[in-house]
Structure 1
Amino acid sequence: MKCLRAHFDADENPFGSPYDLFTVDGQWPRGELRDLRLRSDGTVVELCILEDVPPNIESRLAEHPDIVDFDVGISSDGGAVCHVHLVPDDGVRQLLELVDEHDLLLDTPIRLTRDGVVVNVLGNHAQLRGAVSSLPDSLTDAFCVEGLSDYEPVRNGVRSELTSRQREVLETAVESGYYDIPRQISIEELATELDCSQSTVSEHLRKVESRVLTRLG
Structure 2
Amino acid sequence: MKCLRAHFDADENPFGSPYDLFAVDDRHPCGELRDLRLRPDGTVVELCILEDAPPDVESRLADHPDIVDFDVGETSDGGVACHVHLDPNDDVRRLLELVDEHDLLLDTPIRLTRDGVVVNVLGTHTQLTGAVSSLPESFRDAFCVEGLSDYEPVRNGVRAELTSRQREVLETAVENGYYDIPRQVSIETLATELGCSPSTISEHLRKVESKVLTRL
For residue 11 of structure 1, what is the aligned residue in structure 2?
Answer: 11
Distance 1:67 1:199, change over 3 A: closer
| Aligned pairs for 1:120-159 within 5 A | 120-159=120-159
Which residue does the alignment assign to 2:32? 32
Q: Which amino acid in the other structure matches residue 82 of structure 1?
A: C
Q: 5 Å matches for 1:109-124?
A: 109-124=109-124
Partner of 1:203: 203
Give the drift of 1:181.
Answer: 6.2
Tell me how far apart the structure 1 counterparts of residues 21 and 199 of structure 2 sit (CA, whole Å).
28
Q: CA separation of 1:123/1:175 partners in 2, compared to 1, >3 Å: closer, same or farther?
A: farther
Give the Cα separation in 1 of the matches to 2:175 and 2:90: 35
Q: Could you give the per-residue CA deviations for residues 14-42 of structure 1, whole angstroms, max 9, x where no partner exists?
A: 11112222112332111111100001111
Q: 1:42 touches 1:93 (CA, 8 Å); kept in 2? A: yes
Deviation for aligned residue 1:203: 3.1
* Structure 2, unpaired ranges of 5+: none
Distance verdict in 2 for CA 1:214–1:60, change over 3 Å: closer
2:196 equivalent to 1:167: no
How far is the alpha carbon of 1:153 from its aligned partner?
1.3
Decide whether the 8 Å contact of 1:24 with 1:55 is kept in 2: no
TM-score (norm 2): 0.91
Distance 1:204-1:79 versus aligned 2 partners, 3 A rule: closer
CA–CA distance in structure 2, aligned partners of residues 201 and 56 of structure 1: 23
Counterpart of 1:64?
64
Determine the structure 1 residue equivalent to 2:176. 176
Matched residue SS, 1:72: strand
Q: How many residues align?
A: 216
Conserved in 2, the CA contact under 8 Å of 1:12 and 1:142?
A: yes
- Kindly provide the amino acid, as one letter, of the partner of residue 146 in structure 2: E
RMSD over aligned Cα atoms? 1.8
The farther-off stretch of 124-133 and 50-59 is 50-59
Rounded Cα–Cα distance in structure 1 between residues aligned with 2:118 and 2:156: 21
SS at match of 2:201: helix
SS of the equivalent of 2:21 reads helix
Return the letter of the residue paired with 1:214.
T
**Paired residue secondary structure (2:119):** strand
SS at match of 2:11: helix
CA distance in 1, matches of 2:38, 2:24: 27
Which is worse superposed, 65-74 or 173-182? 173-182
Structure 1 spans left out of the alignment, 5+ residues: none
Aligned to 1:106: 106
User: The residue matched to 2:146 in structure 1 has which SS?
Assistant: strand
Provide closer, same or farther for how the CA distance between residues 156 and 64 of structure 1 changes in structure 2, counting only shifts above 3 A. Answer: same
Tell me, in whole angstroms, the C-alpha distance in 2 between the residues paired with 1:56 and 1:18: 15
Q: Which digits, 9 at most, give the CA deviation of each residue in 1:37-95, with x for residues without a partner?
A: 00111100111111123232222222222111111122233321111111101221111
- In the aligned structure 1, how far is the partner of 2:55 from the partner of 2:123? 39
Q: Which residue of 2 aligns with 1:49?
A: 49
- Give the whole-Å Cα distance in 2 for the aligned partners of 1:180 and 1:151: 30
Aligned to 2:86: 86
Per the TM alignment, residue 184 of structure 1 is displaced from its structure 2 partner at its CA by 5.1
For the residue of structure 2 that corresponds to 1:84, the secondary structure is strand
